[in-house]
């Protein structure tokens, strides 16, 4: 996210909204905003895994970053900019967001328990 707006490019996120949601009821339990670590290649997927994130919602993302999330056991879901993080998490909980097609990920961006932690970059 940039400010409180969903970032169109994952690598440009300055903060992440980490959401704890109940999978059974599809309701958001809590939310926190965390400042992103310094953006160096591969840092965001590892850092989010350390935060206990179980899924990530992104706009545009590089192929390598998707592969790093997959290696950390974190599925990636694609969303359009313009929605709030809460709206995006609800869409993901409803199964309305799709996983990225690795062939259509941003070219040239090689950098990169009943509850589920989901992160939206902003």
N residues, the chain: 122
From first to last of the 122 residues of the chain, give the pLDDT tens digit: 444 667 677 888 888 999 999 989 999 999 999 998 987 888 899 999 999 999 999 888 888 889 999 999 999 998 877 788 888 899 999 999 998 876 655 544 433 334 444 555 54
Q: What is the DSSP string of the chain?
A: -BTTB--SBGGG-SEEEEEEEETTTTEEEEEEEEEPPP--TTHHHHHHHHTT--EEEESB-BHHHHHHHHHTT--EEE--TTS-HHHHHHHHHTT--B---GGGSBTT------EEEEEEE-
Q: Which domains does the chain have, with CATH numbers?
A: 10-102+116-121 (3.30.420.130)
């Amino acid at each position: 996210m940039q400010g409180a707006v969903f970032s169109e490019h994952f690598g440009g996120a300055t903060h992440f909204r980490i959401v704890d949601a109940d999978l059974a009821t599809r309701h958001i339990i809590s939310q926190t905003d965390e400042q992103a670590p310094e953006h160096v290649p591969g840092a965001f997927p590892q850092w989010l895994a350390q935060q206990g994130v179980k899924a990530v919602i992104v706009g545009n993302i590089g192929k390598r970053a998707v592969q790093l999330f997959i290696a950390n056991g974190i599925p990636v879901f694609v969303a359009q900019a313009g929605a709030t993080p809460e709206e995006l998490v609800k869409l993901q909980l409803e199964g309305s967001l799709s996983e990225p097609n690795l062939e259509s990920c941003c070219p040239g961006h090689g950098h990169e328990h009943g509850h589920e932690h989901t992160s939206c970059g902003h």
